[in-house]
C-alpha cells in the first residue's frame, strides 16, 4: 500500500475565529492522514483559509482595516491553532497567495475556452451571509430568509459570468450511480440526488458589486465568486494549474500524483458545493473526480445549536481549557470517537467528555498497559518473559484486529478503527481477570503459564498501541517506548503490526498514560 493519498479539510473563512467545528474537521483529517502514513501511504494532507468575498471585505471595513490585513491576522491564528493541536498538514493554502490566484485565473480562462463559462444576466435571491444564490422556489421554501443567519434574502440582478452547471446533470447523475460511495454517508448522497432531480441551474461565478476577490481574466470589474475561488484550492495547492509545469492536469505538475483526492471532508452545510458544483467544474476541466466527499454533521452543545448569542459556543479558549485539563490526546479521542461523522449531530457536553475520558482512556487504554507493565515488573524484574505457547490465539486475534482496523480506516470509520484497538485491550483485561496472574505468581510451578500470559498481554498491548497512534500520538509514543522501544523511522507497517515483535527479555516499563481527572476540574479551570 504505497499509493499516494490526498485528504483535505474545507478552507476556513478568515472572518471567523477558530472554533470546535474547525478543530473537529481538521482533527479527524489528521487522524486519517496519520493512519495512512502509518500503513505506508505517501500522504498529502491539505488545509488552509478562504480569504476572499464580501463577508471578509465587510468585516474588515467594520474594523477599519484592509481585507488583506484581516486575512493575515486570522490566517495566522488558524495556523497557530494547527500548530498547538499538533496537526500534521503538509501544506496550508491561503486563497490570497499568488500561487492560488494565478492558477484560478488559468482555470477560468480554460473554462471560457471550452464554453462552460458564458456571460449572462442573473436575477434571483442572494444570501449575503452564506454568499449563496437561491432560485425563486428555494427562496420561497426558505421564506425569503437565510437558513443559517435568519436574515432576509436580497433580490439581486447582475450581469455575470455563468458556469453551465445545467449541462452536467446527466453526467453527474451517472457518476453518482456508478460510484455509490462518491458522497458519504449514503443518506447525504440521496439528498444531493433529490436536489439534482429538481433541476440544475447555471451558476453565476463572478460578481461586480465588490472588489475583494480574484479578478476574472479579461473581464474588467468582475471578480470570481468566492466559492469557485475556494473550491479550486484543492487543485491549485497541487499545482495542477501551473502553466510552467506543463499546464492543466499535466503529469509534470508539482504534486500531481496526489490527484484525485481520496477524501474531501466537509460539514453537511457545504456539501452541495462539493458534491455537485465541484465535480461539474472538474468535468468541465477534464480532470478526474475526487474519490469521496465525506459530509459530517454538526457538533451542537448541551443539546442546542451552538451560537454566540446563547453563549454555548465551543470556542478556542474553551477547547484550550479541555486540552489543558485532559491533554491533547484526550481531545483528539473525543473528537474522533464521539463526533458527528454520521448523519446525526453530536452533542458536546462536559460530563460526556469526562465519562469518555475516564472509561476509555483512564480505565482501558491507560490501565491495561499499566497492569501488564506492573506485573512484568513485579514477577519478572521488568523483562519480558518467554511464551512457550507462541501466543496461543493472540496472533490471529491481533491479525484480525489490524485487518479490521485497516478496513475501517480506508472507509473513514474512525470510531470503528478505534474500537478494534479497544476490543483487544478489553480482551487482555478479560484474560487477566480470568487467569488471575497475581494468584498464579504465588506458586513457582505456575511460572511457565504466568510467563506465557504476560508475554501475550504485552505483545497484544503493543499492537493495540500501534493502532491507537493516529488518535493518541503523544501517549502512544510513550507506550511504544515502554513496550519494546520506539521503532526506527524506516520500520514498515507489516513489521509494526506483526505479533511477537517484542523479544524475550526486553525491558517492559510501567507506564502511567492517562491520569484520573477530577470531574469538577473543567468547571474550575477558567
Ligand atoms: O464554509 N460542527 O468555511 P467555514 C462541525 N470557506 N463542524 C463544523 C461546525 C460544527 N458546528 N461548524 C463549522 C466555509 N464546522 C468555506 C469552505 S471549502 C472549499 C470552503 C466545520 O469557515 C465544517 O467542516 O464556515 C464546515 O464545513 C466548516 O467548518 C465550515 O468552515
Atom of ligand 1 nearest to the CA of 265: 24
* CB of 425 sitting under 6 A from ligand 1: no
Beta carbons of 453 and 431 less than 8 angstroms apart: yes
Largest CA-CA distance found in the chain, in angstroms, rounded = 90
Beta carbons of 428 and 457 less than 8 angstroms apart: yes
Instruction: Give distance in angstroms: CA of 197 to centre of ligand 1.
Output: 26
Rounded Cα distance between 358 and 366, Å, is: 10
Residue 453 has a pLDDT of 98
Q: Whose CA is nearest to atom 9 of ligand 1?
A: 21
Instruction: Give distance in angstroms: CA of 295 to centre of ligand 1.
Output: 11
Q: Whose CA is nearest to atom 18 of ligand 1?
A: 10
* CB of 265 sitting under 6 A from ligand 1: no
Which residue shows C-alpha cell 473528537?
335
Burial of 373 (0-12, 13-18, 19+ CB in 10 A): buried
CA distance from start to end of the chain: 46
Q: Whose CA is nearest to atom 24 of ligand 1?
A: 267
Q: How does strand 223-224 pair with strand 263-267? A: unpaired
pLDDT band, very low/low/confident/very high, at 148 (cuts 50, 70, 90): confident
Could you read off the pLDDT of 457-486 as tens digits, one per residue?
Answer: 999 999 999 999 999 999 999 999 999 877
Q: Give the 3-state secondary structure of residue 117.
A: strand
Rounded Cα distance between 485 and 482, Å, is: 6
Instruction: Give distance in angstroms: CA of 343 to centre of ligand 1.
Output: 16
337 pLDDT exceeds 90?
yes
Residue 246 has a pLDDT of 57
Which residue shows C-alpha cell 511464551?
387
Beta carbons of 433 and 370 less than 8 angstroms apart: no
Residue 507 has a pLDDT of 96
Atom of ligand 1 nearest to the CA of 230: 19
128 pLDDT exceeds 90?
no
Show the beta-strand stretches assigned E in 208-350. 223-224, 263-267, 293-296, 299-301, 346-348
Domain spans in the chain, listed from the N-terminal domain onward: 350-496
Rounded Cα distance between 306 and 310, Å, is: 7
| Torsions phi, psi for 88 (to 5 deg) | -105, 40
Query: How much of the chain, in percent, has pLDDT values that exceed 70?
Result: 97
DSSP 8-state secondary structure symbol assigned to residue 275: I
* CB of 96 sitting under 6 A from ligand 1: no
* CB of 329 sitting under 6 A from ligand 1: no
Report the 3 state secondary structure along 373-393: HHHHHHHHCCECCCCCCCCCC
Instruction: Give distance in angstroms: CA of 265 to centre of ligand 1.
Output: 10
Residue 250 has a pLDDT of 59
Exposure on the CB side of residue 130, measured as CA atoms within 13 A:
20
286 pLDDT exceeds 70?
yes
**What integer best gives the mean pLDDT of the chain?**
94
Atom of ligand 1 nearest to the CA of 9: 24
Could you read off the pLDDT of 404-420 as tens digits, one per residue?
Answer: 999 999 999 999 999 99
Angle between helix 328-338 and 20-38 (nearest 10): 90
* CB of 21 sitting under 6 A from ligand 1: yes
* CB of 16 sitting under 6 A from ligand 1: yes
Which residue shows C-alpha cell 454566540?
308
Mean pLDDT of 278-302: 97
CATH superfamily of the 350-496 domain: Isoleucyl-tRNA Synthetase; Domain 1 (1.10.730.10)
* CB of 299 sitting under 6 A from ligand 1: yes
Beta carbons of 467 and 401 less than 8 angstroms apart: yes
pLDDT band, very low/low/confident/very high, at 206 (cuts 50, 70, 90): very high
438 pLDDT exceeds 90?
yes
245 pLDDT exceeds 60?
no
Beta carbons of 259 and 288 less than 8 angstroms apart: yes
* CB of 18 sitting under 6 A from ligand 1: no
pLDDT band, very low/low/confident/very high, at 312 (cuts 50, 70, 90): confident
Best probe residue, ligand 1, of 25, 147, 282, 297 (max atoms within 8 Å of C-beta):
25
Q: Whose CA is nearest to atom 30 of ligand 1?
A: 12
Mean pLDDT of 381-401: 97
Beta bridge partner(s), residue 107: none
Among residues 351, 468, 465, 449, the alpha carbon closest in space to that of 408 is found at 468
For residue 400, give the C-alpha cell: 484480525
b/e code 81-105 from CB counts within 10 Å (16+ = b): bbeebebbbeebbbbbbeebbbbbb
Q: Whose CA is nearest to atom 28 of ligand 1?
A: 267
Mean pLDDT of 353-371: 98
Query: How much of the chain, in percent, has pLDDT values that exceed 90?
Result: 84
526 pLDDT exceeds 90?
no
Which H or E element spans position 119?
A: strand 117-127
Beta carbons of 238 and 282 less than 8 angstroms apart: no
* CB of 518 sitting under 6 A from ligand 1: no
Q: Where are the alpha helices (DSSP H) in 150-288?
A: 169-178, 186-197, 226-231, 233-236, 271-272, 278-284
Atom of ligand 1 nearest to the CA of 345: 2
b/e code 201-210 from CB counts within 10 Å (16+ = b): ebbbbbbeeb
Instruction: Give distance in angstroms: CA of 12 to centre of ligand 1.
Output: 6
Rounded Cα distance between 313 and 411, Å, is: 30
Rounded Cα distance between 128 and 265, Å, is: 24
74-83, 178-187, 204-213: least confidently modelled range: 204-213
Best probe residue, ligand 1, of 270, 301, 313, 348 (max atoms within 8 Å of C-beta):
270
* CB of 29 sitting under 6 A from ligand 1: no
Beta carbons of 288 and 282 less than 8 angstroms apart: yes
* CB of 107 sitting under 6 A from ligand 1: no
Q: Which of 139-153, 299-313, 391-405 has the highest mean pLDDT?
A: 391-405
* CB of 496 sitting under 6 A from ligand 1: no
Amino acid at each position: 500500500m504505497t499509493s499516494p493519498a490526498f485528504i483535505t479539510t474545507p478552507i476556513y473563512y478568515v472572518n471567523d475565529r477558530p472554533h470546535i467545528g474547525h478543530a473537529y474537521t481538521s482533527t479527524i483529517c489528521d487522524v486519517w492522514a496519520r493512519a495512512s502514513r502509518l500503513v505506508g501511504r505517501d500522504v498529502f494532507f491539505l488545509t488552509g483559509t478562504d480569504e476572499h468575498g464580501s463577508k471578509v471585505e465587510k468585516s474588515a471595513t467594520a474594523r477599519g482595516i484592509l481585507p488583506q490585513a484581516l486575512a493575515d491576522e486570522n490566517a495566522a491564528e488558524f495556523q497557530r491553532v494547527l500548530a498547538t493541536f499538533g496537526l500534521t498538514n503538509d501544506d496550508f493554502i491561503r486563497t490570497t497567495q499568488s500561487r492560488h490566484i494565478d492558477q484560478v485565473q488559468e482555470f477560468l480562462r480554460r473554462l471560457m475556452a471550452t464554453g462552460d463559462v458564458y456571460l449572462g444576466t442573473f436575477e434571483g435571491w442572494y444570501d449575503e451571509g452564506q454568499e449563496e444564490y437561491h432560485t425563486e422556489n428555494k427562496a420561497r421554501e426558505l421564506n425569503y430568509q437565510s437558513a443559517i443567519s435568519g436574515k432576509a434574502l436580497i433580490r439581486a440582478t447582475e450581469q455575470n459570468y455563468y458556469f453551465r452547471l445545467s449541462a452536467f446533470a446527466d453526467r453527474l447523475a451517472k457518476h453518482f450511480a456508478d460510484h455509490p460511495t462518491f458522497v458519504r454517508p449514503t443518506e447525504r448522497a440521496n439528498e444531493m440526488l433529490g436536489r439534482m432531480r429538481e433541476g440544475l441551474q447555471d451558476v453565476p461565478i463572478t460578481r461586480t458589486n465588490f472588489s475583494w476577490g480574484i479578478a476574472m481574466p479579461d473581464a474588467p470589474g468582475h471578480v470570481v465568486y468566492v466559492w469557485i475561488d475556494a473550491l479550486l484550492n484543492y487543485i491549485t495547492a497541487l499545482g495542477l494549474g501551473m502553466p510552467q509545469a506543463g499546464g492543466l492536469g499535466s503529469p509534470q505538475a508539482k504534486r500531481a500524483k496526489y490527484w484525485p483526492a481520496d477524501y474531501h471532508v466537509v460539514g453537511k452545510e457545504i456539501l452541495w458545493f462539493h458534491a455537485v458544483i465541484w465535480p461539474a467544474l472538474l468535468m468541465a476541466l477534464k480532470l478526474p473526480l475526487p474519490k469521496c466527499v465525506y459530509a459530517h454533521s454538526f457538533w451542537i452543545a448541551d443539546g442546542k445549536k451552538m451560537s454566540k448569542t446563547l453563549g454555548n459556543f465551543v470556542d478556542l479558549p474553551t477547547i484550550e481549557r479541555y486540552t489543558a485539563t485532559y491533554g491533547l490526546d484526550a481531545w483528539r479521542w473525543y473528537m474522533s470517537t464521539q463526533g458527528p461523522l454520521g448523519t446525526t449531530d453530536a452533542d458536546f457536553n462536559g460530563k460526556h467528555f469526562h465519562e469518555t475520558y475516564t472509561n476509555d482512556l483512564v480505565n482501558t487504554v491507560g490501565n491495561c498497559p499499566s497492569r501488564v507493565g506492573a506485573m512484568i515488573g513485579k514477577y519478572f524484574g521488568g523483562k519480558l518473559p518467554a511464551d512457550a505457547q507462541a501466543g496461543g490465539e493472540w496472533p490471529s486475534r491481533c491479525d484480525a484486529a489490524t485487518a479490521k482496523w485497516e478496513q475501517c480506516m480506508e472507509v473513514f470509520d474512525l470510531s470503528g478503527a478505534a474500537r478494534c484497538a479497544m476490543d483487544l485491550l478489553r480482551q487482555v483485561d478479560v484474560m487477566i481477570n480470568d487467569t488471575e496472574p497475581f494468584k498464579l505468581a504465588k506458586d513457582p510451578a505456575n511460572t511457565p503459564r504466568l510467563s506465557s500470559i504476560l508475554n501475550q498481554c504485552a505483545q497484544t498491548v503493543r499492537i493495540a498501541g500501534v493502532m491507537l497512534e493516529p488518535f493518541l500520538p503523544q501517549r502512544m509514543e510513550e507506550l511504544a517506548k515502554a513496550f519494546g522501544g520506539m521503532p526506527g523511522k524506516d520500520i514498515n507497517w507489516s513489521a509494526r503490526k506483526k505479533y511477537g515483535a517484542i523479544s524475550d527479555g526486553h525491558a517492559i516499563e510501567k507506564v502511567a498514560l492517562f491520569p484520573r481527572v477530577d470531574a469538577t476540574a473543567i468547571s474550575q479551570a477558567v
